[in-house]
Amino acid sequence: MAESSDSLQKERKMTSGPNFSASVVRKSAAAANIPPANNSMKMMSFENKQRRPNRIHRRSVSVSSTDSYSSASYSDASYSSDDEDGGLNPREKEQSNSSGQSDFCIRNIKLSDFGRREIEIAEQEMPGIVLLRKRNHNEKPLEGARIVGCTHITAQAAVLIETLSALGAQVRWCACNIYSTQNEVAAALAESGYPIFAWKGESEEDFWWCIEKCITYPAWTPNLILDDGGDATHLMLKKYPSIFNQLKGIVEESVTGVHRLYQLSKAQTLSIPAMNVNDSVTKTKFDNLYCCRESILDSLKRTTDVMFGGKQVLICGYGEVGKGCCQALKGLGAVVYVTEVDPICALQACMDGFRVVRIEESIKIIDILITCTGNKHVVRREHLDRLKNGCIVCNMGHSNTEIDVGSLRTPDLTWEKVRTQVDHIVWPDGKRITLLAEGRLVNLSCSSVPSFVLSITATTQAVALIELFRAPFGRYQNDVYLLPKKMDEYVAALHLPSFDAHLTELTDDQVKYSGVSKTGPFKPHYYRY
């Protein structure tokens, strides 16, 4: 993306080098002090140019893809199949790339060319993370970092992985979801020499084996974790506590993983600092809202071909994800109901024009049921029994626990496979519902999501890793922290040039009046946006 000189000058003034101040870091309730001023990003420099990747005309057309890091995938198409490799589990195959390296385990290395094209497409829509890479490539702020990553292996995640490597880090990567890996992207990364342990359709045993392969490697001890769901953190803490205690920190981006970290902190069993990226402004207000607003429609259309006009839709939860889903479906003419436990969110839903109900009040009339709470068993068997024939049921929350899918695996119900990630559940009386992705994240498993939004999230993760890695001893205690406001603003500023956006600069009189620096932070830590 081209950058105008005016916008760059104003951005530089805003970001100031960026010699960030961490005076607004928020901590969990257990933490006593705000960390001192932050100089860990001082090596990050600014350059004016960005490489424009070659235009790619070919795009995947798969109907099933990934998670909050997603694009259309070749993995379900004819480019890759179990028949091609004899149906072998990747763990049973001897694999090597064109350079003879074999430190990886993926579905099919032959898909690397397709994966590289997917990554190049993603880069075109991820200006912030690409700009972060370009500006700081020479300084190598992550030199010496050894990162275990457990996220979705998608084209957008690949851009993050290659950025961390370009900034000096060594990485080993696995998937946080058994369905979200794009096999062609994993192949492209393996072909480029990255230790990738992931393939679409892993078993539960495969899943934990892949994480373990990333943690345990001869003559290589990790010092950072980038986690999505807390599984790498959980396994390392449980099986390899000596390695865990030597970490410089954890960066976690999911509701589930953050919840686990706060539990550890409350129990005083968290022995290292952790950064809660999930609740950073640049994650919550962009990934959770804008990404889900677009991807929910894509997910439902790809899997069911449903028309939304006039449909009765129940959305459980009115947080940022729920808000995005409600806006999207209302815009296409659906009649939307909301369930909530939080009176503040319920009031917001009412004032946005949605009727707030209990699930029991609307369960018999709805055509589509979507969960967005991040909680457990929000939709249970007694609710599913009362749904009308043909109702579509799916989950947009992080975990696969919101819908009690286990209660549907009983002898009286029949499961019929319709297509990838689409099942009919048939009752004895002939009633059937359509369950998407077996209750897992529907946008991660069944659709694509906007690369631009994921650029914001990936940049936030990279900045958090740099902060934890470069922070002097004692700045962060063994607790859970929010990303400093100044860094949130820096991440946002990196994405403004792609819109040719020009920030207004405060005058000296305005600075004196408001007490706000010309370079930020512009809002107090408690500001909600």
Residue 6 lies in a domain: no
Task: Please determine, for residue 9, whether its predicted confidence score (pLDDT) is greater than 90.
Answer: no
Pair of tokens at residue 338: 């909301």
pLDDT at 447: 81
If asked whether residues 252 and 352 sit together in one domain, one would say no
Residue 228 marked as a ligand binder: yes
Query: Could you give the number of structural domains in the chain?
Result: 2
How does the average pLDDT of the chain come out, rounded? 86
Task: List the CATH number of the domain containing 335.
Answer: 3.40.50.720
pLDDT at 384: 97
Distance between CA atoms of residues 410 and 155, nearest Å: 38
If asked whether residues 168 and 187 sit together in one domain, one would say yes
Task: Please determine, for residue 306, whether its predicted confidence score (pLDDT) is greater than 50.
Answer: yes
If asked whether residues 211 and 302 sit together in one domain, one would say no
- Overall average pLDDT of the 483-492 stretch: 93
Residue 55 lies in a domain: no
pLDDT at 69: 34
Distance between CA atoms of residues 112 and 81, nearest Å: 15
If asked whether residues 486 and 440 sit together in one domain, one would say no
pLDDT at 448: 77
- What does the chain come to in residues? 529
- Overall average pLDDT of the 520-528 stretch: 87
Residue 70 lies in a domain: no
If asked whether residues 112 and 211 sit together in one domain, one would say yes
Residue 46 lies in a domain: no
Task: Please determine, for residue 18, whether its predicted confidence score (pLDDT) is greater than 50.
Answer: no
In the block, residue with structure tokens 């974790």: 225
| Dihedral angle of Cα 491, 492, 496, 501, to the nearest 10 degrees | -150
Which pLDDT band holds residue 71 (cuts at 50, 70, 90)? very low
Give the closest residue to 27 by CA, choosing from 473, 484, 467, 463.
Answer: 484
If asked whether residues 314 and 383 sit together in one domain, one would say yes
pLDDT one-digit tens code per residue, 86-118? 578 999 999 999 999 999 999 999 999 999 999
Residue 287 marked as a ligand binder: yes
CA 502 from centroid of its chain's CA atoms: 28
pLDDT one-digit tens code per residue, 347-359? 999 999 999 999 9
pLDDT at 86: 59
Task: Please determine, for residue 168, whether its predicted confidence score (pLDDT) is greater than 80.
Answer: yes
Residue 389 marked as a ligand binder: no
Contact between 413 and 426 (Cβ < 8 Å): yes
Residue 323 marked as a ligand binder: yes
Write out the DSSP string of 183-211. Answer: HHHHHHHHHTT--EE--TT--HHHHHHHH
If asked whether residues 271 and 300 sit together in one domain, one would say no
If asked whether residues 311 and 243 sit together in one domain, one would say no
Which pLDDT band holds residue 387 (cuts at 50, 70, 90)? very high
Distance between CA atoms of residues 280 and 517, nearest Å: 21
Residue 319 marked as a ligand binder: yes
Question: By residue range, what is the domain housing residue 243?
Answer: 90-279+472-491
Residue 527 lies in a domain: no
If asked whether residues 300 and 432 sit together in one domain, one would say yes
If asked whether residues 323 and 407 sit together in one domain, one would say yes
Residue 322 marked as a ligand binder: yes
Residue 41 lies in a domain: no
Task: List the CATH number of the domain containing 185.
Answer: 3.40.50.1480
If asked whether residues 251 and 312 sit together in one domain, one would say no
3-state DSSP assignment of residue 361: helix
Secondary structure in 3-state letters for 388-450? CCCCEEEECCCCCCCECHHHHCCCCCEEEEEECCEEEEECCCCCEEEEEHHHCEHHHHHCCCC
pLDDT at 397: 86
Residue 67 lies in a domain: no
pLDDT one-digit tens code per residue, 259-276? 999 999 999 999 999 999
Contact between 441 and 177 (Cβ < 8 Å): yes
Residue 384 lies in a domain: yes
Distance between CA atoms of residues 194 and 362, nearest Å: 50
If asked whether residues 434 and 295 sit together in one domain, one would say yes
CA 140 from centroid of its chain's CA atoms: 25
